[in-house]
Amino acid sequence: MHNYLEDFFFFLSLFVLIFIIDYFFINKRKLNLINNKGVNKKGKKKKIKTIGELEYLTFKFKLNEKLLDKNKVILWVSILNSFIISFTSSIILLIPMKLIWQLLIAFVLLFALIYSLYEIYGRHLKNNENRKE
């Protein structure tokens, strides 16, 4: 018999860990570089990076980038990414199958979650943009 409380705490701890890494160490730094036009805190010029998820959402849903609150968007993108990764890994660890089947299920589940959650979030952003205009 599986202990589901341990699995839930594994999911929760993995979610928090991935969120901290994704938000503070990846997306927040990229956003600061974009806002400062490539100059970091030490005054060195770095190549301006883009946030891929933000570009994807603005291109696919034809969002006005000026109306977006980028801090809020990268917060939600980090939450979505953390949920997708932690949920997929938690589900896969619960399935008692061979490794090849686990990887196949994880691959399908990962792409299904990415497509569906980003589709929902993109439509939400589009509705908010329409209300602002």
Radius of gyration of the chain (CA): 18
What is the percent of the chain with per-residue pLDDT over 70, rounded to a whole number?
89
pLDDT digits (tens, 9 = 90+) for 13-34: 999 999 999 999 988 888 887 7
What's the gap between Cα 80 and its chain centre? Answer: 4
Distance CA 91, CA 71 (A): 30
Give me the pLDDT at residue 43, please. 65
- CA-closest candidate to residue 22, choices 90, 69, 91, 86: 86
What's the gap between Cα 95 and its chain centre? Answer: 24
Question: Chunked in runs of 10, what are the mean pLDDT values of the chain (133 residues)?
Answer: 84 97 90 74 69 91 90 95 96 92 96 97 94 81
The predicted model scores a pTM of 0.88
